[in-house]
């Protein structure tokens, strides 16, 4: 792409979101708003046991409840293994699910599907289903899962399509080792070595709109699925596999999404109303309660990361050794891919390392299966590596900012552990300098005693992510000139509240030199939208954006050709003329994939006040400086950054998924599962230090995930500076601080 110039009209401008007024005025745009009123209500009876076999199940009494239309058990549904993970085919995640199974693998697993005319009837029928269980011993501790005689998936038809080291007879979703250089030899030469094990628990995405789907049969006898999803095209493939029907019989549409954060990169609700509609021919919908979203969805993977970092006498980091153990839970959605990001999105931050080694294992347990969550494994890995680097700075008696300044990756370097990619754009040094200035680091580091047992301290971390999945993800865009000279832009990427419809329209308007209002954006319908892998992996701005630019440039060439053949016409006249006696289609579809995944970078600094008597922590100030290349819409990028920082603060201090000895989740509502409100957050200040990414549209890289990754290590560092206590497990609660654990 050409280097961006200063004469931009719409790109790098704070354009209002296209759907802003519809959202703030409460227009019916979400799934449940537009679902037909006659939809059957679909709910699922859930297992009370972490591990059990259904011995008998009786639905006769439940079927007699007035208004009940359909009750399904494992005997009534197709028996084809599939994965709910929304990933490009062939999926790295194992095919380890049935729609309903006789074996139940966690508390909350699906036992039966009930559909009825109203919620009251369905709730009554659920209570009348009689089930006897053969209760089995569960494996709940992910440290004890590998090679445990208790198998979560003993079935013979379990299958992994990709070679990721998976073995269901060992409770393994994946395993492997990779590296470069003679790690042990280089580490032995290091003057300073630190080692630590860091534990991050599962976290719920807690988006405002819970999981929800409605389904119906269209006039052509096809299954139409309308769902709050980030992955419409993957939903079509997954449903085809699970329901054992051709893809040609399925159409998936995405309305507005009330937040996803990765949770909706898995097929959580879609399969249940879909099978009901196929069985009954009637429209059906499933709306998850917050309780269901907490106990049976797709949270972040619990991980334990052991890191060893070695540096020479000058503080240059020479070697990094990582071992990651991930808790896949009962099913393997996203387990093989999230775990690899713990290394490839943390180790490359330190571009001078001569050797690295990464060993990993993801294991099954009888707890709720995990999935994708903003940061996608990088968050867990960066917490570990950045915490270890902060410990290294203490051991060397060096300012942790200075330690990073002499080690951080720079443009032109081959990034270790990053697929051999060269860092083509990087303003990480300027991000660090800007954050240092904004936080007044030199005056505040490490801590200040405020009296009355309160101490203020600062902490630092840096992070990277990626921009799409290189050599895998595909994005497409269709642009056409309409009569009267306005344009229609069709995309396959899912706007989940982030504003991708708006920024893609900004790029189209910039290329076509027209106002953004002249670009009508059409969301995803798998029947008519161009293919897109989906809105995940920080791909939309970078990958779909370039597809939009490609399409617009080709369309301009066609318009120029038409203008040469029909001189003197205005664009409006061309739009009208081409609708009559015309042989040139003024419509273009362009597709884009990328051989590289240029990382965005970020520096985060936290200032906290710790009450050493009670252990309470108040985040007074958080500074985030981001290099996302060229920000396409600075206002939307800033909101992305602020939201990600807050989610990271929640992970660091509040969010704590816990299970009792029977595998029951204790944090099944927002009364028990605490996420930060605005009152819990002090100042958040975000700035951008833009690099120019030559592979991105107008020099842009991604922004969506990078922004969650610095909060937890920076806050943990600040708490150490305030208390002198190291905390290797999140969240860091007042009890832990007081007890010193």
Fold match between 20-29+469-592 and 424-467+597-741? yes
**Residues 96, 334: Cα–Cα separation, whole Å:** 12
How large is the average pLDDT for residues 517-530? 95
State the Cα angle at 247 between 246 and 253, rounded to 5°.
140
Cβ–Cβ < 8 Å for 373, 263: yes
Q: Which backbone phi and psi does 179 adopt, to 5 degrees?
A: 175, -175
Predicted local confidence at residue 584, as pLDDT = 87
Decide: 416 and 351 in contact? Cβ < 8 Å.
yes
Looking at residue 678, what is its pLDDT? 87
Q: Is the predicted pLDDT of residue 422 greater than 80, yes or no?
A: yes
Question: What CA–CA distance (Å, rounded) separates 402 from 388?
Answer: 15
- The CATH code of the domain at 20-29+469-592 is 3.30.365.10
Considering only the top CATH level, what class is 35-136+205-295? alpha beta
Q: How far apart are the first and last CA of the chain?
A: 52
Q: Tell me: pLDDT of 283 over 80.
A: yes
pLDDT band at 581 (very low <50, low <70, confident <90, very high): confident
* Residues found in the chain: 741
Distance of alpha carbon 324 from alpha carbon 382, whole angstroms: 12
DSSP code of residue 3: P
C-beta of residue 233 within 8 angstroms of C-beta of residue 526: yes
pLDDT at 377 over 70: yes
Region 668-696: what's the mean pLDDT? 95
pLDDT digits (tens, 9 = 90+) for 135-183: 999 999 999 999 999 999 999 999 999 999 999 999 999 999 999 999 9
Residue 540 dihedral angles phi and psi, to the nearest 5°: -65, -55
Q: How confident is the model at residue 5 (pLDDT cuts 50, 70, 90)?
A: low
Domain boundaries, the chain: 20-29+469-592, 35-136+205-295, 424-467+597-741
Mean pLDDT of the chain: 96
350: helix, strand or coil:
strand
What contacts 24+ positions apart, CB below 8 Å, involve 133-136?
133/47, 133/48, 133/49, 133/52, 133/53, 133/54, 133/55, 133/104, 134/52, 134/53, 134/54, 134/55, 135/49, 135/51, 135/52, 136/49, 136/51, 136/52, 136/53
Cβ proximity of 634 and 700 under 8 Å: no
Integer Rg of the chain from CA: 26
At residue 497 the predicted structure's pLDDT band, cuts being 50, 70 and 90, is confident
pLDDT band for 1, please (50, 70, 90 cuts): very low
Percent of the chain's residues with pLDDT above 90: 96
Task: Classify burial at 708, counting beta carbons within 10 Å of its beta carbon; exposed 0-12, middle 13-18, buried 19 or more.
Answer: buried
Provide CB contacts within 8 A for 601, sequence distance 6+: 426, 427, 428, 431, 462, 463, 464, 626, 627, 706
Assign domain 424-467+597-741 to its CATH architecture. Answer: 2-Layer Sandwich (3.30)
Residues acting as catalytic residues = 705
Q: Residues 616-656: pLDDT tens digits?
A: 999 999 999 999 999 999 999 999 999 999 999 999 999 99
pLDDT one-digit tens code per residue, 292-324: 999 999 999 999 999 999 999 999 999 999 999
Q: How far apart are CA 377 and CA 345, in angstroms?
A: 8
Distance, in Å, from the CA atom of 424 to the CA atom of 429, rounded to the nearest integer, reads 14
In this predicted structure, the answer to whether residue 38 has a pLDDT above a threshold of 80 is yes
Residues with Cβ within 8 Å of residue 365, at least 6 apart in sequence: 138, 139, 140, 141, 142, 145, 152, 171, 327, 328, 329, 330
Q: What is the pLDDT of residue 669?
A: 96
Measured distance CA(180)–CA(358) in Å, rounded: 9
Longest Cα separation, the chain: 84
| pTM greater than 0.75 (yes/no) | yes
- Assign 523 a pLDDT band (cuts: 50, 70, 90): confident
- Band (2; pLDDT cuts 50, 70, 90): very low
| Under 8 Å between Cβ of 253 and 281 | no
Q: Contact at 8 Å (CB) between 459 and 648?
A: no
Nearest to 225 by CA among 109, 501, 234: 234
pLDDT of residue 6: 61
Nearest to 230 by CA among 516, 544, 441, 583: 544
**What's the pLDDT tens digit per position in 242-280?**
999 999 999 999 999 999 999 999 999 999 999 999 999
């Amino acid at each position: 792409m050409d280097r961006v110039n200063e004469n931009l009209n719409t790109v790098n401008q704070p354009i209002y979101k296209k759907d802003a007024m519809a959202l703030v005025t409460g227009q019916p745009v979400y799934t449940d708003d537009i679902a037909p009123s006659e939809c059957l209500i679909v709910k699922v009876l859930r297992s009370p046991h972490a591990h059990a076999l259904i011995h008998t199940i009786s639905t006769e009494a439940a079927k007699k409840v007035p208004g009940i239309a359909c009750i399904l058990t494992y005997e009534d549904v197709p028996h084809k293994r599939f994965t709910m993970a929304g990933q490009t085919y062939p999926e790295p995640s194992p095919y380890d699910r049935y729609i309903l199974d006789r074996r139940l693998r966690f508390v909350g697993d699906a036992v039966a599907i009930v559909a009825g005319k109203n919620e009251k009837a369905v709730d009554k029928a659920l209570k009348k289903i009689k089930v006897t269980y053969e209760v089995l011993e569960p494996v709940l501790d992910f440290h004890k899962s590998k090679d445990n005689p208790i198998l979560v998936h003993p079935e013979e038809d379990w299958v992994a399509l990709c070679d990721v080291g998976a073995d269901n007879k060992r409770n393994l979703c994946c395993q492997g080792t990779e590296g470069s250089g003679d790690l042990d030899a280089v580490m032995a030469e290091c003057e300073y070595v630190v080692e630590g094990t860091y534990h991050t628990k599962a976290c719920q995405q807690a988006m405002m709109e819970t999981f929800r789907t409605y389904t119906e049969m269209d006039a052509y006898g096809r299954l139409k699925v309308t769902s709050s999803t980030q992955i419409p095209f993957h939903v079509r493939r997954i449903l085809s596999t699970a329901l054992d029907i051709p893809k040609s019989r399925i159409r998936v549409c995405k309305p507005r999404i009330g937040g996803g954060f990765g949770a909706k990169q898995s097929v959580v609700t879609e399969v249940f109303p879909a099978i009901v509609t196929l069985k009954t021919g009637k429209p059906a919908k499933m709306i998850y309660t917050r309780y269901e979203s907490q106990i049976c969805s797709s949270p972040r993977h619990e991980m334990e990361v052991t890191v060893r970092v070695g540096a020479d006498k000058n503080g240059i980091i020479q070697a990094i050794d990582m071992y990651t153990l991930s808790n896949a839970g009962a099913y393997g959605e996203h387990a093989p891919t999230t775990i690899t990001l713990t290394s490839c999105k943390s180790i490359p931050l330190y571009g001078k390392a001569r050797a690295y080694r990464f060993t990993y294992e993801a294991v099954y347990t009888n707890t709720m299966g995990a999935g994708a969550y903003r940061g996608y494994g990088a968050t867990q890995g960066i917490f570990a590596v950045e915490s270890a680097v902060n410990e290294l700075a203490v051991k060397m008696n060096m300012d942790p900012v200075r330690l990073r300044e002499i080690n951080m990756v720079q443009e032109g370097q081959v990034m270790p552990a990053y697929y051999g990619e060269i860092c083509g754009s990087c303003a990480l040094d300027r991000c660090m300098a800007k954050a240092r200035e904004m936080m007044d680091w030199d005056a505040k580091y490490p801590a200040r005693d405020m009296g009355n047992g309160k101490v203020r301290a600062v902490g630092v971390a840096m992070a990277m992510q990626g921009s799409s999945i290189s050599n895998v993800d595909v994005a497409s865009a269709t642009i056409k000139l309409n009569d009267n000279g306005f344009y229609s832009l069709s995309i396959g990427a899912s706007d989940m509240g982030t504003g991708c419809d708006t920024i893609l329209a900004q790029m189209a308007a910039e290329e076509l030199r027209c106002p953004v209002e002249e670009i009508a954006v059409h969301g995803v319908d798998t029947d008519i939208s161009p293919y897109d892998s989906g809105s995940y992996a920080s791909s939309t701005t970078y990958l779909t954006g370039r597809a939009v630019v490609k399409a617009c440039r080709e369309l301009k060439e066609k318009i120029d050709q038409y203008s040469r053949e029909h001189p003197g016409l205005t664009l409006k006249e061309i739009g009208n003329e081409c609708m009559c006696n015309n042989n040139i289609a003024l419509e273009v579809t362009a597709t884009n994939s990328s051989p590289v995944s240029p990382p965005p970078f970020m520096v985060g600094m936290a200032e906290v006040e710790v009450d050493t008597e009670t252990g309470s922590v108040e985040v007074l100030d958080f500074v985030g400086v981001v290099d996302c290349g060229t920000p396409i819409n600075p206002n939307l990028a800033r909101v992305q950054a602020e939201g990600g920082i807050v989610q990271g603060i929640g992970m660091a201090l509040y969010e704590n998924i816990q299970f009792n000895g029977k595998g029951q989740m204790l944090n099944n509502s927002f009364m028990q599962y605490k996420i930060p409100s605005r009152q819990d957050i002090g100042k958040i200040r975000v700035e951008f230090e833009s690099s120019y990414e030559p592979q991105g549209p107008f020099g842009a890289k991604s922004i969506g995930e990078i922004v969650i990754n610095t909060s937890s290590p920076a806050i943990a560092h600040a708490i150490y500076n305030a208390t002198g206590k190291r905390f290797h497990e999140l969240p860091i609660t007042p009890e832990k601080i007081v007890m010193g654990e």
